[in-house]
Amino acid sequence: MSLVTALEKLDRRWIFLTIGLLVLLPLLFPLALPLYVSPPVRSFVEAVDSIPDGSRVLMSCDYDPGSIPEMVPMTRTALRHLLDKKCKIVITVLWNGGPGLVDRIVRQVVEHEYPDRQYGVDYVNLGYKAGDEAVMVLMGQGIVNAFPRDYHGNDTRTMPIMQGVRDYTSFPMLVNISGGYPGTKEWVQQVQARFHLPMVAGVTAVSAPEYYPYLQSHQILGLLGGMAGAAEYEKARGEKGSATRGMDAQSLAHYFVAVCILLGNVVQWSKRRRPAP
Amino acid sequence: MTLHPAPLTTPEGIGIWVGAFLTFCVLSFLYKDNPFYKLAEHLFVGVSAGYYIILNFWTVIYPNLYEPLRKAFAGHGVTERTGMFAAELGDYRGWLLFPAVLGLLLFTRLFGRIGWLSRWSLAVIIGVYVGIQTTGFAQGDLVAQVQASLQPLWTGKLGSSLNAIIFTLGLVTSLLFFFFSREHKGALGVASRIGVFFLMIGFGAGYGYTVMSRVSLLIGRFQFLLEDWLGIVR
Amino acid sequence: MKRELPLFITAVVGLLMILSFFVPHQAVSVPSDFLQQCALILRAFGYVLGGVNVLLVNFDGIYKRQPGWVYKIVLVTTLIATVVVGAVEGPGFLNPHTRSKWIYDNIYSNMQATMFALLAFFIASAAFRAFRIRTTEAGLLAVAALIVMLGRVPLSNALTNWLPEWARLQSLQEWIMVFPQNAAKRAILMGAALGVMATGLRVILGLERAYLGGED
């Protein structure tokens, strides 16, 4: 059987096995390939750096466990970035599947690395609210009207961090980490366009290309795209988190997919050139 | 490289082992469909549906509806004013009976003969979102994007001017491709063909990023298995 | 009452929401804010309805002994168990160390992540079996995909570092994203915005009635 015929008849499970190994092995034996910080990520870092120290910042983590590898590293690094600037953080979640995950990430970062920060004083997780864009617009009239209780069931009106918080004018910036709908696009349309709140966004790679127009129009001031964006953010901040550790595997997998595309087409062209039996 | 698997003596450790088992059940689908995968799939659907019910009850229905209504029936609200219907911005008291009734009317969909009552609730939902999205798309996606597109084609430098020309050409020709009120012939035909080329480049870039996204999801699973479950430490 | 009233409600509510964008006066802002609260609450009821519907459909499947009915027992049991456990634990049901949090962290979270992880395998398989370059357009798509896919990873940084900066894969990838790709996406964005506005007006004017469903 010729190579072309063998490839034509290839059981897809061999492809599954190959990509599985190409992802697994670099995680066990890292290649430590050099990372380069791209301009959208640099803009993200500069925008967050421009927030005055000690400000109260709104952070919306709109994702669920389906996008953990891309979103969680961005969330961790953004939290550290803001906490290093002594910012107070008000966190919301607009995805059904997200609140438990976001709370775990926030507690892991704050309780282990910033034990001097107090819940309700320096940071608060307002939790989840159904409604997508309606929640975003509702928050524009009053944050506590939309979130009368936080993630743990506490009354938000009595919390020190929420004293003086009225609407979006109480925040200098929105840091949005979003896995899809509702997410960055809706925040741009309903909040940035309507209430003119400056924002930066970290998004999944699958949706990143559609946010380049918003970046170019300065509707978002910085963009992290996928695990690569998260890894570049970690590098810019001098960290080596799970995104950085995953980039070697990402590299090999991408090259493998490229080979698959080329090989598949070589097989097709060979089939077309073969004389009919 | 040493192995430090999650302990089976704590609830968290047992949970990680359960998670690892379910991960392998789902991954077994790659070989072929099997009872372990079907079990995991149905378990996931059951847990998800139950979780969505209880989440929306405790995070929305309880704090945004039940508690304000309970206070309203006692004549109180968020502000100092007394009165069940003494509403103001953000404090709607007894008026919340309106969404409460509409919410219950949604359940009439389950009963064929009176299912049409749920249309009143749907009408409110549709009306709110249509209004919000019409203005959101108009301001955020149309006006702002047109504004940002009006850029000088000559910037003083050859490289950036060329880029600006390419960008504007791509934008205009791609927009012309979507103009279907005239047949794509002649000048419009040429312009829309150029637009197709730009659109294909856009879709190709989207495909590249999609590959990155999907692969990173697999990386995340392997990181869970290696780091959280097996505790492989280097 | 069955069709006309819902259409009227949609029109009034939709127009009020559009008006609230332009008019800050409380005669408009208070009703529109109230309606947004209503939408939140109704969406939450909608999710509960969805969950109840899943339960009823699968009860029916078990009763009628449809294929795979044994697995439906697992589905129904876990659904009810999750609801009961969450109901008993109250508003803090997702606090650390609760049973609901354990179910969320170890079952829901892991399973959802793994379901999505399967896509990596399928995208590789589809790249080999289905990605066919038969036309100029498909060729352009493939070239752009390859440059972006390879330019985004650090292995390409290492392989093309010896080239002048403009010729490196990462620079080509960035140029594609910022210029031609951006232009195409902006065109799609603007076109979609016009489409959404047109559809929104059609819904408000009662020309688009698909959401009402049914014959009567």
How many angstroms separate the CA atoms of C91 and A152, rounded?
Answer: 7
Q: What are the tokens at B149?
A: 């597109």
pLDDT, one tens digit per residue, over B211-229 is 999 999 999 999 999 999 9
C-alpha pair distances (Å), B54 with each of A3, A171, B58, C45, C80:
56, 31, 6, 11, 10
Other CB atoms within 10 A of residue A156 CB: 22
Q: Is residue B8 part of a domain?
A: no
CB A232 within 8 A of CB A175: no
Chain C residue closest in CA terms to A10? C129
Residues of chain B with pLDDT under 50: none
Please choose, from the candidates B64, B62, B60, B92, the residue with its C-alpha nearest in 3D space to the C-alpha of residue B77: B92
| Shortest Cα–Cα distance, C93 to chain A (Å) | 8
| Shortest Cα–Cα distance, C134 to chain A (Å) | 9
Identity of the residue in C49, C55, C148 whose CB atom sits nearest the CB atom of B208 = C148
CB–CB contact C117 B220 (8 Å): yes
For residue B32, give the DSSP letter.
Answer: -
Identity of the residue in C39, C131, C174 whose CB atom sits nearest the CB atom of A264 = C131
Beta bridge partners of A176: A60, A201
How does the average pLDDT of chain C come out, rounded?
A: 94
CB C37 within 8 A of CB B64: yes
CB–CB contact C189 A210 (8 Å): yes
With b meaning 16 or more CB within 10 Å and e meaning fewer, what string describes C115-125? Answer: bbbbbbbebbb
B34 contact partners, CB below 8 Å, separation of at least 6: B28
- Is the pLDDT score of C215 beyond 80? no
Strand, coil or helix: what is A223? Answer: strand
Please choose, from the candidates B182, C49, B107, C150, the residue with its C-alpha nearest in 3D space to the C-alpha of residue A255: C150
Write down the pLDDT at residue A275: 66
Q: What are the tokens at C91?
A: 């508003």
- Interface check for A213 against chain C (CB to CB < 8 A): the answer is yes
How many angstroms separate the CA atoms of C93 and C105, rounded?
Answer: 13
CB–CB contact C155 A104 (8 Å): no
Identity of the residue in B137, B209, B219 whose CB atom sits nearest the CB atom of A69 = B219
Torsion-angle region of A86 (φ positive above 0: left; ψ -120 to 50: alpha; else: beta)? left
- Is the pLDDT score of C185 beyond 80? yes
Please choose, from the candidates A239, A208, A201, the residue with its C-alpha nearest in 3D space to the C-alpha of residue A226: A208
Chain C neighbors (3+ CB pairs < 8 Å): A, B
| Chain C residues within 8 A of B197 when measuring between CB atoms | 136-137, 140
Q: What are phi and psi of A92, to 5 degrees?
A: -125, 160
Q: How far is CA C119 from the centre of its chain?
A: 16
pLDDT, one tens digit per residue, over C89-122 is 999 999 999 999 999 999 999 999 999 999 999 9
Please give the single-letter amino acid code of residue C193: A
- Is the pLDDT score of C216 beyond 60? no
Question: What's the domain count of chain B?
Answer: 1
Interface of C with A in 14-33 (CB under 8 A): 21, 29, 33
Write down the pLDDT at residue A276: 62
**Strand-strand pairing, A174-178 and A223-225:** unpaired
- Interface check for C210 against chain B (CB to CB < 8 A): the answer is no
Q: Which residue segments constitute the domains of chain A, with CATH numbers given?
A: 3-30+248-273 (no CATH), 39-240 (3.40.50)
Instruction: List the single best residue of A255, A257, A259, A262 to mutate versus B (max B Cβ within 10 A).
Output: A257
Q: What are phi and psi of A197, to 5 degrees?
A: -85, 120
C91 contact partners, CB below 8 Å, separation of at least 6: A149, A152, A153, B58, B59, B62, B63
Identity of the residue in C10, C52, C72 whose CB atom sits nearest the CB atom of B126 = C10
Write down the pLDDT at residue A192: 96
How many angstroms separate the CA atoms of C157 and B116, rounded?
Answer: 61
How many angstroms separate the CA atoms of B69 and B92, rounded?
Answer: 9
How many angstroms separate the CA atoms of C70 and C93, rounded?
Answer: 29
CB–CB contact C154 A254 (8 Å): no
CB–CB contact C51 B18 (8 Å): no
Please choose, from the candidates A230, A43, A75, the residue with its C-alpha nearest in 3D space to the C-alpha of residue B212: A230
pTM of the model as a whole: 0.94
Residue span of the structural domain in which B182 resides: 153-234
Starting at the edge strand found earlier in the chain, the sheet holding A88-93 runs A123-128, A88-93, A56-62, A174-178, A199-203, A223-225
Identity of the residue in C7, C14, C87 whose CB atom sits nearest the CB atom of B131 = C14
Please give the single-letter amino acid code of residue A192: Q
The band of C124, judged by pLDDT with boundaries at 50, 70 and 90, is very high
Residues of chain A with pLDDT under 70: 1, 275-277
Helix and strand totals (H; E) in chain C: 9, 0
CB–CB contact B135 A194 (8 Å): yes
How many angstroms separate the CA atoms of C82 and C151, rounded?
Answer: 45
Q: What is the dihedral of CA C190, C137, A39, A76, to 10 degrees?
A: 80
Instruction: List the single best residue of C28, C107, C204, C207 to mutate versus B (max B Cβ within 10 A).
Output: C107
- Interface check for A226 against chain B (CB to CB < 8 A): the answer is yes
Place of tokens 């077309």: A272
- Interface check for A158 against chain B (CB to CB < 8 A): the answer is no
Please give the single-letter amino acid code of residue C32: S
CB C129 within 8 A of CB A226: no
- Interface check for C133 against chain B (CB to CB < 8 A): the answer is no
Write down the pLDDT at residue A6: 86
Please choose, from the candidates C64, C96, C103, C61, the residue with its C-alpha nearest in 3D space to the C-alpha of residue C80: C103
Q: Is residue B98 part of a domain?
A: no
CB B2 within 8 A of CB B227: no
For residue A35, give the DSSP letter.
Answer: P
